[in-house]
Amino acid sequence: MKDILVLADGEAVSRAAADLVQRACRAAVEARGVFSVALAGGSTPRGLYSLLATDPAFRDSIPWDRVEFFWGDERHVPPDHRDSNYRMAHEAMLSRVPVRPERVHRVPSEQPDPAVAASLYEAELRRTLGDDRGVPRLDLILLGLGPDGHTASLFPGTQALSERRRVYAANRVDSLATDRITATFPLLNAARQVVFVVAGAEKAPAVRSILAPDPDTPVLPARLVRPEGGTLHWVLDRAAAGQLTGDGVRAGGE
């Protein structure tokens, strides 16, 4: 199932995404006693994380000690580096709410070899979710979208796009001259829910290519995120949705 929600601006996008996180968390804790979530990196989610940690409607209703935190991807930098996705989420949210430290599973991105980091991280995910053979099923995965249609660190033309066995992989991104550690499509598409949080006019062409492609539109990485037994949410601001027609699109509250 796919749900496309368009909101007025970035603040409304954060609030709508926070609502989805809160609902998914409470449903998971009620059903299984724990909520497993993979956080998105980049800059867009910072507002969402800050809202979850500071707005009493979310801060006081989320059972923070029941949440297992993972990341959808990480840069190959130490956790205190300014580019670290862990550092961003820690500053915006995790340092401000009563999480259980042993349930904050950051990618060991200080590992010199990103492939070792990815392998260690996959093992930690499997150990935590108790799924050492199949594809682990996270309750919710938050994702962003790059203007080139990448998501997590699954960039166009990169090796990890074709990974079908591992759920985390090292990925060389030549366009950025950097290495990343990223969730792969098997993990993304096994999730109970996937929520794309996207804002800004610079994302509009990629959003259109993914949500309203022409027959000959090249398949961008984010278009391959289709959680088979789960729900796919796109939470967009008007600017990012600027090239979509009204078909199948819900307008969020003003």
Footprint on this chain of ligand 6PG (rule: CB under 6 A): 40-44, 72-73, 85, 144-146, 150-153
Residue number with CB closer to ligand 6PG (136 or 144)? 144
* Least spacing, CB of residue 231 vs ligand 6PG, in Å: 20
* Least spacing, CB of residue 43 vs ligand 6PG, in Å: 4
Residue number with CB closer to ligand 6PG (150 or 208)? 150
Q: Are 222 and 150 in contact (CB under 8 A)?
A: yes
Query: Around Cβ 119, how many Cβ atoms within 10 Å?
Result: 18
Place of tokens 């709508």: 16
* Least spacing, CB of residue 116 vs ligand 6PG, in Å: 19
Residue number with CB closer to ligand 6PG (26 or 166)? 166
Residue number with CB closer to ligand 6PG (114 or 144)? 144
Residue number with CB closer to ligand 6PG (41 or 114)? 41
Q: Which residue has the CB atom at the shortest distance from ligand 6PG?
A: 144
Residue number with CB closer to ligand 6PG (73 or 139)? 73
* Least spacing, CB of residue 216 vs ligand 6PG, in Å: 25
* Least spacing, CB of residue 94 vs ligand 6PG, in Å: 16
* Least spacing, CB of residue 120 vs ligand 6PG, in Å: 19
